[in-house]
Structure 1
Amino acid sequence: MEIRQLKYASAVARLKNTALAAEEYYTSRQAVSKSIQHLEQELGVTLFSRSKHMELTDAGRAIIPKVDEVLKNINELEFYARSLSSSYEGLHVTIALTAFPLDYLYFNSRHRTMHALSEFKDKSSRTDVNILHLPDAAILDAIKNGTIDIGIIQGSITEDGFKCIDLSQIEMRVIATVESGLCDLEYVGIEDLKGVPIRTPLDFNSFYIDLIRRCREHGFNPLFQDVPLNDEAIYTFAKAGGVHIQPYDPCMKDAYPENAYLPFHPNDRMNLPLSLVYQEGTVSPTALKLARYLARSAK
């Protein structure tokens, strides 16, 4: 049994696709498939059903979590050994998180990605991990010019040279004051947003492109309004009936009880993928380790 086999099996379980797993490890689809077949032969069980998607079997669902635990332990051993090396002077990784109103509440200690970042820092104590908050477009520009190593953005990209890995799905909610007429609704439908001022987002990502399309299907354009980034302007905008649409975390209710966090109607719900991105070919080995650590932790 080889470490490579375990890494490939873990990636296929996460991505449900051998081709995507091969891309992640810069190898061929055939190499991934063959490694997994050899692993299954050694273990004496079938880990994946070979259907349209590589779905885990019952045995696979029992074994893959143990595989992931083994890979985490291997990472810890590598970090620990490196920290003991007399030639090791410490490493630096800069990661930027997508910025939006209340992002400091969404990316809290309970968030899976933030928890994984904290774990990584604890297990590699001499690696300095610097965390920034930037708009998505700024993150991509910073990766291109080498200012940052890794970015976590809303949506996904297909730009040449970038690796994009889905981490999770973000629930988007409509945020209004508790006095808003929308609070009388159990759910907010697309048609309920007609004529309602919506704070212009920092980035017109895939969610907002889809929102605009759906609004037009209902016969209207969303009423975006620029609002300065200061508390007074935001409060005035909200009191006048304006709303924000952004990622939601339950802790926001405790931090801002004067707001209502209204879910979309199930027929209109539009989740937004949270994706990890880096530039292939130029990413440092340490940054690549962090990227893979976050990807595994997102499962």
Structure 2
Amino acid sequence: MDLHALRQFQVVARLEHLSRAAEELHVAQPSLSRTIARLEGELGAPLFDRAGRLRLNDAGRAFLRHVERTLGELEAGRRAVADIAEHGVGTVRIASETFLTLTGPLAAFKRAHPAVEVALHQMPAEQMGRALRAQEVDLCVASQPVPAEGLEAVGLLDEPVWVVTPLGHPLADRESVSVAELAEQPFVTTRTGHWQRRLLDRLFAAEGLAAPRIVCEGDEPSATAILVAAGLGIGLIPDMARRSATRAPVAWIAVDGSACRRTLTLLRPANAHPGGAARLMHAALTGWDWSAGPV
């Protein structure tokens, strides 16, 4: 089974007409008929119904879906190689609210593509849409919703977010806690605009509570657990950090209800023509097992 036969099958399947397919492919019809027959022989099943007009059958439709994906991936690979040959290995520019989220897939990507340069930009979600549309970055990984106008979004991960406390905290032995029970607690969190802060504010507002008591706020979400472990207060940490081998010594407590969650989304311009490095990174991020957590 060769690529030449797959491309010919794709045209015949699209047109469902041998003579027109042969004309489009610039081959003789008997030769095209032999190619399709040989392909069916290799697969062990007919791909077309031949009673009257040529029609793609169920097996043909199933095979066509795989052929289209295969040829599409090969074309993407050809474009990536052409891009590298013309412009060098290239650079991919990624924006994220926090870099801890990306450590696992970035490490794997650099092992697979050591010559590709990765440029990281820390950026709040509210700036991501503008940066993508202005082509200042190629990809964004957001932990909160971003206006989708002109953007293509792929969901990467939906995970619970935990309350973390110092080990000696009165809540440390609890399996779960309600949002109302957190009303008077001192919080270590991120600045306004970051996803943890928006989630915290949203949880309190949904319960009709006053604004949370913030005792420490910063720009790097990954520092929250370290500051909590030091005894400054409690905080909200995503499940991914709980699975990190380097996690801080804190107690992890579930939050009652279904609202305390984070959704991780990969964004790129909808109608752009990304370079080879950006396409490779997009494939790497969408293919990554996000349940594995950070390295």
SS at match of 1:239: coil
- Which residue is 1:15 aligned to? none
- Which residue is 1:42 aligned to? 60
Letter in 1 for 2:121: L
- Which residue is 2:235 aligned to? 244
Q: Structure 2 residue aligned with 1:256, among 248, 251, 257?
A: 248
| 1:120–1:290 Cα contact (<8 Å) kept | yes
Q: In structure 2, what is the Cα distance between the partners aligned to 1:40 and 1:202? A: 55
Deviates more, 1:172-181 or 1:152-161: 152-161
Q: Structure 2 residue aligned with 1:178, among 153, 164, 167?
A: 167
- Which residue is 2:135 aligned to? 146
Distance 1:90 1:176, change over 3 A: same
| 1:154–1:272 Cα contact (<8 Å) kept | yes
Letter in 1 for 2:166: T
Q: In structure 2, what is the Cα distance between the partners aligned to 1:213 and 1:126? A: 43
Q: TM-score, normalised by structure 1?
A: 0.59
- Which residue is 1:20 aligned to? none
- Which residue is 1:157 aligned to? 146
Per-residue deviation, 1:154: 0.7
Distance 1:203 1:46, change over 3 A: farther
Per-residue deviation, 1:152: 0.1
- Which residue is 2:180 aligned to? 191
Per-residue deviation, 1:168: 1.0
Matches within 5 A, 1:61-72: none
| 2:90–2:116 Cα contact (<8 Å) kept | yes
Per-residue deviation, 1:235: 4.1
Q: In structure 1, what is the Cα distance between the partners aligned to 2:153 and 2:59? A: 32
Instruction: Determine if the alignment matches structure 1 residue 270 to structure 2 residue 260.
Output: yes
- Which residue is 2:88 aligned to? 89
Matches within 5 A, 1:5-154: 41-42=59-60, 74=74, 78=78, 81-82=81-82, 85=85, 87-99=86-98, 103-104=99-100, 106-109=101-104, 114=105, 117-154=106-143
SS at match of 1:184: coil
Between structure 1 and structure 2, the one with the greater Rg is: 2
The percentage of aligned residue pairs carrying the same residue is 15
SS at match of 2:149: coil
- Which residue is 2:212 aligned to? 223
Per-residue deviation, 1:91: 1.4
Per-residue deviation, 1:128: 2.1
SS at match of 1:171: strand
| 2:201–2:212 Cα contact (<8 Å) kept | no
- Which residue is 2:16 aligned to? none
| 1:190–1:268 Cα contact (<8 Å) kept | no
| 2:128–2:146 Cα contact (<8 Å) kept | no
Instruction: Please give the per-residue CA displacement for 1:58-91, whole angstroms capped at 9, x wherever unaligned.
Output: xxxxxx8x998x5897489548854884x45221
Q: TM-score, normalised by structure 2?
A: 0.60
Matches within 5 A, 1:279-298: 279-282=269-272, 284-286=274-276, 287-297=278-288
| 2:96–2:142 Cα contact (<8 Å) kept | yes
Instruction: Please give the per-residue CA displacement for 1:125-157, whole angstroms capped at 9, x wherever unaligned.
Output: 543222333332344443344332111011222
| 1:93–1:149 Cα contact (<8 Å) kept | yes
| 2:164–2:251 Cα contact (<8 Å) kept | yes
Q: In structure 1, what is the Cα distance between the partners aligned to 2:251 and 2:266? A: 30
Deviates more, 1:131-140 or 1:161-170: 131-140
| 1:98–1:139 Cα contact (<8 Å) kept | no
Alignment: residue pair count? 234
Distance 1:174 1:180, change over 3 A: same
Letter in 2 for 1:96: A
